[in-house]
């Protein structure tokens, strides 16, 4: 393949898509009480959820080192690729993009790095679009543009039981976190320009999930759309959410995926998260 595509482990591609396209995944690291493990290989979302439920457990995450990306890039180029498009989670949420950009800069312009400005299947849809363009034999610039274009077509919405974990990790401002706690509201968040912000506030978990459905339908626009529903240890809740959005979208829905979030995002959102990523096929 003239152009290869790289992403990171926070894309959380559903199992049914594994092997569909030729994608190289570079894992992030999770640290639980000082013990490090690679996301998706050594540390599971369930382990993170258990650790977060234990009040004294210390959970953190770290980006891949630039050398990890450099090794992956060199291996791909040595295998015969003419260029690489590397698509990653928001630079405002992680240093992963920066690490990839540092590695790419050392290898030259045939390695292009794209900030998806989101994570989860928001990143996943962008990486898949790039991989599809690469499989068609498109140029490096076209593959890069496909990633950026489809990243701009996604809306990432999610509900959390508490903003405390996002506050601890510095992924949301203290004022927003305090708002959720002080008023005893259930926050619905979304990703805007790569940052996590409060989208809406409701009083109960049930209303939050109902509002998520409304917002997902609104985000889909008037054309065809794909959705991905994320959860952490709550497959029944996720299935109900997917069914509700699917029923509302009707014939406009193309693909629907259910996938558990991985250990890295789990470490920052905590147990009870439910999210919907909407990918608009028409713009």
Which residues on neighbouring strands pair with residue 16, listed in sequence order? none
Domains of the chain (ranges, CATH numbers)? 3-28+63-151 (3.40.50.10170), 154-280 (3.30.1180.10)
Q: Give the residue among 37, 26, 5 at the shortest CA–CA distance from 68.
A: 26
For helices 121-135 and 140-151, the axis angle rounded to 10 degrees is 150
Q: What is the pLDDT of residues 179-212, one digit of tens each?
A: 555 456 778 889 999 998 888 888 887 888 899 9
83, 110 contact by CB (below 8 A)? yes
With b for 16 or more beta-carbon neighbours within 10 A and e for fewer, the 197-221 pattern comes to: ebbbebeeeebbbebbbebbbebbb
155 or 232: which carries more pLDDT confidence?
155
pLDDT of 178 above 60: no
What is the pTM for the complete model shown? 0.92
pLDDT for 270: 80
The kind and range of the H/E element at 50 are: helix 45-53
* Distance from C-alpha of 99 to C-alpha of 84, rounded to nearest angstrom: 15
**Quick one: pLDDT band at residue 213, thresholds 50, 70, 90?**
very high
With b for 16 or more beta-carbon neighbours within 10 A and e for fewer, the 86-102 pattern comes to: bbbbbbbbbebbebbbb
Q: Give the residue among 101, 49, 107 at the shortest CA–CA distance from 76.
A: 107
88 or 46: which carries more pLDDT confidence?
88
């Amino acid at each position: 393949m003239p152009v290869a595509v790289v992403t990171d482990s926070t894309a959380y591609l559903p199992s049914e898509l594994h092997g569909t396209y030729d994608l190289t995944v570079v894992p992030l690291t999770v640290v639980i009480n000082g013990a490090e493990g690679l996301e998706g290989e050594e540390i599971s979302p369930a382990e993170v959820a258990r650790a977060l439920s234990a009040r004294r457990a210390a959970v953190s995450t770290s980006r891949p080192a630039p050398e990890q990306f450099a090794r992956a890039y060199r291996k791909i180029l040595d295998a015969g690729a003419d260029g690489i498009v590397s698509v990653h989670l928001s630079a405002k949420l992680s240093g992963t993009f920066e690490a990839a950009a540092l590695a790419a800069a050392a290898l030259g312009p045939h390695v292009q790095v794209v900030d998806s400005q989101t994570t989860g299947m928001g990143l996943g849809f962008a990486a898949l679009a790039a991989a599809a363009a690469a499989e068609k034999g498109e140029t490096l610039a076209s593959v890069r543009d496909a990633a950026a274009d489809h990243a701009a077509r996604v809306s990432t919405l999610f509900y959390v039981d508490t903003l405390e974990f996002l506050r601890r990790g510095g992924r949301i401002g203290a004022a927003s976190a305090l708002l959720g706690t002080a008023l005893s509201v259930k926050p619905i968040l979304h990703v805007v320009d790569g940052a996590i912000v409060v989208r809406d506030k409701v009083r109960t978990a049930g209303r939050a999930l109902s509002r998520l459905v409304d917002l997902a339908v609104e985000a889909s626009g008037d054309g065809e759309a794909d959705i991905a529903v994320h959860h952490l240890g709550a497959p029944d809740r996720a299935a109900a959410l997917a069914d509700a959005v699917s029923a509302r979208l009707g014939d406009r829905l193309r693909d629907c995926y259910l996938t558990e979030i991985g250990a890295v995002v789990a470490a920052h959102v905590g147990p009870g998260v439910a999210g919907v990523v909407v990918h608009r096929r028409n713009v």
